[in-house]
Amino acid sequence: MIYLDNAATTKPDSRAFSRAQEYLTEKWQNPSGLYREGFSLQGELKKARSFLLSRIADESAYTLVFTSCGTESDNQSMFGYGRRGNVVTTAGEHAAILSSVTELKNRGIAEVRFAPLNPDGSVDERALLSLVDEKTSLVSVIHVNNETGAINDVNALARAVKEKNPRVVFHSDGVQAYGKIPFRLGKEIDLYSVSAHKIGGLKGTGALVRRKSLPVRPYIFGGGQESGERSGTENLFGIKMFEYAAEEKFRTLAEDYQRLGKVREEFWERLDRESFVRISSRDSSPYILSISAPGLRGEVLLHMADDRGLIVGTGSACSSNAKNRYSRVILACGKDERTADGVLRLSFSPSTTAKELSQASSIFNQIARELRERMG
């Protein structure tokens, strides 16, 4: 099997699992317990929190609260800080942001404004800034687009937004960026969402990075865990797995970034230009390549590839149950429905090899020819 749907989820890292296993079988007690074992586990939580945060931010200025996933982190940001006036975001956001801001609008809490996209899926920066005014309470811009891999310069955008309205809370969904692209949070970013299972951790574990000077606004209430920021007994096994998986990722982050960029371009060069067009730009994340076979159904190609042992996606897995036939993000990039219908998203991991991509390109070329021949 060749697995190229890593933007949806990654295989759990075996070394991280081996290290974290003791928190499932031996050190399984409640980290919030007042007994000796619980107090010891609080120290393990602190170590994980410090490591995960220190990779991208200044610990003196930011803190990190553990959540169940990137979606929860996004929801906490939108419902916690989108409280008045208007909320500005982009047409290329993950469904966790789109659905949340739509709910803010439906509840009459805030007006929602969407900035258009460039052809590669990045946000039109000038258009975004034009939507920010004195009544804007929250701006959310995805760091790496989960369908095209386009990288938004969220540090520069946050600075520009704060220059226009210093009271704005700036959030970024960093789920496809954390542990994958070289980056550190600039001081103008207030909130940043991350997820474990995108980098070899477990599903059910995520985190929200928050600037310390920003008021705490919990989304889940209960026992007051996570210093009152997110109630619920901490998933210590998942959190330690997140920490250890991140250690593996950050150790080779720069090398992986360069290598995957090269093998991605080699893969693209092998594809039949009569069948495929490219949507992702060359300066997008090397972990994602979005292509299209105009006139063919991406879903049909996906199943044909699956029959040959190649697993890919057609876009965001979190939007796979949507009623619309075409990806809203791809349409927002200015692509026509014929192109949007044929979209395939290939997403890589550090374990993806050049040999696998060579085999994948052959499979794609073959199934595209077969399908076009069937269609006459």
Helix (H, G, I), strand (E, B) or coil at 288: strand
> Cβ(355)–Cβ(341) under 8 Å?
no
The residue with tokens 């979209």 is 343
Alpha-carbon Rg of the chain, whole angstroms? 21
How does strand 2-3 pair with strand 62-67? Answer: unpaired
d(CA 348, CA 93): 20
Nearest to 346 by CA among 53, 7, 73: 7
Backbone region of residue 89 per phi and psi (left: phi > 0; alpha: psi in -120 to 50; beta: other values):
beta
Provide the token pair at 8: 């949806």
Q: What is the largest CA-CA distance in the chain?
A: 72
- Other CB atoms within 10 A of residue 198 CB: 28
| Alpha helices by DSSP H, 213-336 | 236-251, 253-270, 298-307, 328-332
| Known catalytic membership, residue 318 | yes
Q: Are strands 288-292 and 277-278 parallel, antiparallel or unpaired?
A: antiparallel
Q: Single out the catalytic residue among 278, 318, 365, 372.
A: 318
CB 30 within 8 A of CB 336: no
CA distance 201 to 11: 8
User: How many residues in the chain?
Assistant: 376
Listed in order, strand segments (DSSP E) in the chain are 2-3, 62-67, 86-90, 111-115, 136-140, 169-173, 191-195, 206-211, 277-278, 288-292, 310-311, 343-347
What is the C-alpha to C-alpha distance for residues 153 and 167, in angstroms, rounded to an integer?
A: 20
Q: What is the separation, in whole angstroms, between the first and last Cα of the chain?
A: 30
- Residue entry with tokens 């610990």: 59
Q: Which residues are catalytic?
A: 318
